[in-house]
Amino acid sequence: MPRLGAHMSVAGGLDQALFRGDSIGCDTVQLFLRAPTRWEAPPLTDGDVDAFQAAREATGLAPIVVHGSYLINLASPKAALWRRSVAALIDDLGRCRRLGIDRYVLHPCAHTGSGEAAGVAKVAQAIQAALAETDAGVRLLLENTAGQGTTLGHRLEQMAEVLGVVGDGKRVGVCVDTAHAVAAGYHLAESEDYARFWATADQLFGIQAVGCLHLNDSLRHAGSRVDRHTHIGEGHVGLTAFRHLVNDSALQHVPMILETPKGEDMLEDIRNLAVLRGLFEGNGAGEAGGDGHQMT
């Protein structure tokens, strides 16, 4: 059974995100280290760190994943914004290191008119600069996107290009979002399409690069290039695709995290987790998972 979880609020403290996840049966959680639409963040105190570590020990949740700020744009052609984004990335990676978190998810960002090639080059340059200023131990995972506007990362080839330039697979990898993949034009429901998607990923950057999965259904149709999440089985990704994923032996070591809409009582997360666990067949190889697409 893969480790399943959801993005959790940090209201009341970082440690509270873990307790919230544990209260609804999560195995793993994702959280923000700062408000996702604010540059400023209060410094981590020793008390914050101690409370977080105590919550990890009490809940047993693992791994913990951090999602980067929405303001960070490593592809920006504007020098001031690019430098501010790199500084925020460096700060976040340092916070992750101090908290003992080893996975940090970040969108590849938008080139805002400078062109894909220029944007990819800026992202790679920014990551290299950030890695040079931070300790090893935290892996930056670039998340594929739906491709709205000038956003990079909607094609696996773009992700592979950034990883190829950075060249450090131990410190940089990939987070695959199912809703984004389908909105970008990939299909995951049919066995052949599912196998083709992962064979392409394996060829371009290797399945070992995948450090996190975001399990979200897509409110919009395949190829819409619109990023709108909905509940598992209620969108255009489809239950069959999620059945493939939770039964894929090549991905069972990868945390699978919900980012679907929910209220304060988190009942939607509880239902979505139950749906995903109900798809698990218990034999390590689903209809098109496991040995079905020969990952290496």
Residue-wise pLDDT tens digits, 130-164: 999 999 999 999 999 999 999 999 999 999 999 99
Neighbour-count burial of 12, counting CB atoms closer than 10 A to its CB (0-12 exposed, 13-18 middle, 19+ buried):
exposed
Q: What is the pLDDT of residue 168?
A: 85
Q: What is the pLDDT of residue 46?
A: 98
Q: What is the pLDDT of residue 262?
A: 97
pLDDT at 219 over 70: yes
pLDDT at 58 over 70: yes
Please compute the mean of the pLDDT values over residues 208-234 and round it to a whole number.
Answer: 96
Residue-wise pLDDT tens digits, 18-54: 999 999 999 999 999 999 989 999 999 999 999 999 9
Q: What is the mean pLDDT of the chain?
A: 94
Task: Work out the widest C-alpha separation in the chain, in whole angstroms.
Answer: 52
Domains of the chain in start order, with CATH, are: 4-293 (3.20.20.150)
Q: What is the pLDDT of residue 154?
A: 96
Record the pTM.
0.94
Residue-wise pLDDT tens digits, 253-276: 999 999 999 999 999 999 999 999
- The first and second tokens of residue 235, run together, are 């969108």
Q: What is the pLDDT of residue 287?
A: 40
Q: What is the pLDDT of residue 295?
A: 32
